[in-house]
Chain A
């Protein structure tokens, strides 16, 4: 009997290993382990064994059963695995095909620069102020120490709408309006982004409409060193933490002293290149200490408070930052241009 068990085990294992289809495996299972299977039949013959033989054979039967069960389930798993693999393989997609399109818009480069600058100055405690684009001569010029007939008005050829109303040539009137609104209170820290207009023929470097951001700080004991520090902080946040700035004396009717501010060329790092015309520096800002007459007209006592102001052209910064060579690109809105400003 023991011999037969061994023989059966060998034969069954041999057959299982030969099976190629799941249904054959099922048939074999019935043949050996089914109710009328060979092993069951053998067990029935246990009764004829001696009491000494019975436990030995019993154990052997169990061993054979376990071995067969293990062989069956191993084979079964192999079949299932193969089936799954076949199924998955049939489901393969070409991962290099493009995905289903989701329309994605873009922010105008000028808006990007404005938002970036706004956020930097908000972080420094500035508020964002706004004012009309169609202004009075009074706010656009006179409140900024540019009385009628002042030669510096030539610097800003103006679109007049009537004798007293005009398209603002700068965002500075917003400073004047904000100062008046403050009624002499300090501290005042503001920036004012916005569109401005000048009588220029549109070409690669001129636009009759462009964008400025100006800033103003008024408080007790504000000195030119504060202007330098604030602009350096701004330059480093905007253009990189190792940035350097350089101030050069200049003239604006509404500041005294006045300064042009140069940024170390971000293209060459100051070594000199085409972008900075070999100087290592790029002019990006006009600035200065607020002229005492401007303070006075806006309701501040220049003996008690002082302030600084600065202004920059958004297009110029965008042109430098993105290498745009023609200012008209910002206003013709060719979608092939706009779509390039896709990050953020």
Chain B
């Protein structure tokens, strides 16, 4: 809502404030002012002039030389290029020394040899908004009505000395969608009276011939019709145009402008019909027939449904109630007989129709937020009086009325104790009553309780708490004291699961990865590309109305988002990337979702390029499978997860069949890691990229706290190194398993410290060297014992894996 400060000053005495100060006060008490703008875009030195003579420029076909009386004592000679300039016009004259928006300064000049003592201006040159100008003012110079006063400053004539307060209204304050609503608010803040418009209507015509009938009676509609004859449709006076333009509405003609003016003044949408086009002067409020058509004012043919409320005459539709009038009964320059509608429809009806037709007019906005039903008649009469005043119309006697149900104001009670308890204040009754007085809320007070009859303009107030808020905002939020909750103490802490999640995040950061956060909504093609962790349960969940295909389906795996991030970085010359994300995936087995999906938190990472930053030592470490595995292993170790198994798999979609492993603990599959399938890498335009993805809930179930410590050993350990030769295809894990199985409890630790393939051994073999550390907790081990165990280990290795000692 755009509020003209000068217009507002007609309803409330603003003499002891100013636009900026008022804006601050409004904002601080609940009606936010987004901006205070001067209507003057930088105009000075422009006055109204009269073109006494116009002649062709001797040396330029397109220029005119005008003699202008601008009230300056002497007539001015002004050269003007506008084709529409003519003798006898009242025009806007920028005098020598005038300033115009855009930094234009008017100087004495010669145009093709002829002196020009100023400039005749167009509306645009004065910084008026093109979109708000009447059509005939969009081209050429601005021609003013004959009654414009010669020599008058254009700033005051055009209302450019006004300020516009732009309100950012919350949905509850639709009362401030009208000048009067704002006036009540401002009056309450400043402690002033509201001065209502004076309505002077002279019913100088015959009886109102209008018949009004409401056929759609399932809602509480109201319809008032005024009837006029002998109207003279013309341009509105400048003061009205100024106000409409300040509010962002384009002036059209005196009758339409009045309906818009009163819409702004009262918040009451009105509509004027050319009565000559209304059969039998009979208005019927009915539901449209399914498929009924109506061409609206914007020349669009609308197809209506059976829930659309229609204003009709006995033979045809005339307007879509509350939304837009029909072209068939539009006010035109020829109109002389007018029907003025002041009606009330339910917000839901208008909202639904406006939605289904995709229309959103100034009127719709007000209907949807609720129009004050008790002011329908007053607003209609105000409009009628203005139409009479501006168009000279004759007004028929009486209002043709139909009403289903009158509005009843809400009655709400609130006690002093409730107010103080809710606000933490210590107000007394004499603090509260004046606030209701200022709001002009009638009330009865007894026993520190106020029973308030809420004016219908404030439809947002229905509960005691709503009254508490009125008290609070006018008392001033700044005046409410500051305290802390005084009830029983609570212990604040993270749940064990939340703590572990933080450990995961902090560990991966410590391990050198950058945390990323990506969108949960992804492209449908992304969903199936790289395997998730729970493929059996994955049916993609799609939005009903996505903003774009790119973000239309919920992710079931974090990997595609991370690959996109890697690709994004690669395109920006960030080749070396190690990132991870903790985020939810959305899993369901349902084809069409009927219940909430399983939202699982995954942790996933992606690594590409060099692990180490470039360095002078020339140390390079391109990321590989074992880098990714190292990160996963260190994470599991941090979570106290022992005995994880890594099982090779060639089955995961989007993953390299020879470089992927699943991570298992016992019967639980925690996740997987490995290289992205080269085909997928190509699709994303990636270099070699390694990823891991783990289910956080499962990590947490197998995570173990630090328990009792192991006493430090008192007896020495013995180390035996075994160098083994084995077929290349045998996994190291098999050897490890065989060693552990045979070595028994004396084996304290086992480390693989060398893997070799090459010239010095057969082509299909590899050499692996293990360090076995033996120790007994209670005595020193004897050589023979160790020899015995070692022999058993070698035997087991041979039997289980075919490994031989390397000679």
| A contact residues vs B (CB 8 Å cutoff) | 97-98, 100-108, 110-111, 115, 118, 121-128, 132-136, 149, 151-152, 154-155, 159-162, 165, 167, 186-187, 189, 195, 197, 199-201, 208-209, 217, 219-226, 228-230, 232-233, 246-251, 253, 256-260, 289, 291-292, 306, 330-336, 338-339
Contact = CB atoms under 8 A, between A and B. Distances in A.
Given A106-B509, A108-B516, A250-B170, A197 B521 contact: yes
Nearest to A164: B594
Top 6 nearest A-B pairs (CB, nearest first) are A225-B424, A103-B512, A223-B424, A249-B30, A251-B170, A257-B469
23 contacts: A97-B616, A103-B511, A107-B509, A132-B599, A161-B554, A165-B596, A189-B485, A189-B490, A199-B545, A199-B547, A223-B483, A225-B480, A225-B481, A228-B482, A233-B484, A246-B477, A249-B477, A257-B472, A260-B32, A335-B514, A335-B569, A335-B579, A338-B514
Contacts of A208: 519, 521, 547, 551
Contacts of A123: 492
Interface stretch (B238-246, B493-501, B523-531, B796-804): B493-501
Nearest to B465: A256
A126 B489 CA distance: 10
Given A208-B551, A335-B577, A250 B32 contact: yes
Contacts of A125: 489-492
Interface residues of B, number: 96
Given A159-B544, A219-B485, 8 more contacts: A103-B613, A161-B593, A208-B519, A221-B486, A223-B422, A228-B483, A250-B170, A260-B32
B619 to A, nearest CB: 7
Interface in B502-551: 502, 505-506, 508-521, 541-547, 551
Contacts, number: 259
Contacts of A161: 541-544, 554, 593
Contacts of A189: 485, 490, 492
B515 A159 contact: no
Q: Which of B543, B592, B599, B615 has the largest number of chain A CB atoms within 10 A? A: B543
Interface string B603-617: 000000001110111
A334 B484 contact: no
B494 A122 contact: yes
Interface of B: 27-30, 32, 170-173, 347-348, 351, 368-369, 420-425, 463, 465-466, 468-469, 472-473, 477-478, 480-495, 498, 502, 505-506, 508-521, 541-547, 551, 554, 565, 568-569, 572, 574, 577-580, 584, 586, 592-594, 596-597, 599, 611-613, 615-617, 619
Contacts of A335: 514, 569, 574, 577, 579
Contact of B517 (A104, A108, A115): A108
B364 to A, nearest CB: 12
Contacts of A330: 517
Given A100-B619, A134-B599, A250-B170, A165 B593 contact: yes
Given A159-B543, A187-B487, A306 B421 contact: yes
B541 A259 contact: no
B513 A151 contact: no
Given A98-B616, A251-B171, A335-B569, A126 B490 contact: yes
Nearest to B485: A226
Nearest to A139: B596
A199 to B, nearest CB: 6
Contacts of A199: 545, 547
A229 B484 contact: yes
A223 B568 contact: no
A248 B477 contact: yes
A230 B485 contact: yes
Given A338-B514, A339-B514, A247 B478 contact: yes
Contact of A306 (B422, B481, B578): B422
Contacts of A256: 463, 465-466, 468-469
A220 B486 CA distance: 9
A258 B469 contact: yes
B32 to A, nearest CB: 7
B512 A257 contact: no
Contacts of A121: 492
Q: Which of A102, A124, A208 has the largest number of chain B CB atoms within 10 A? A: A208
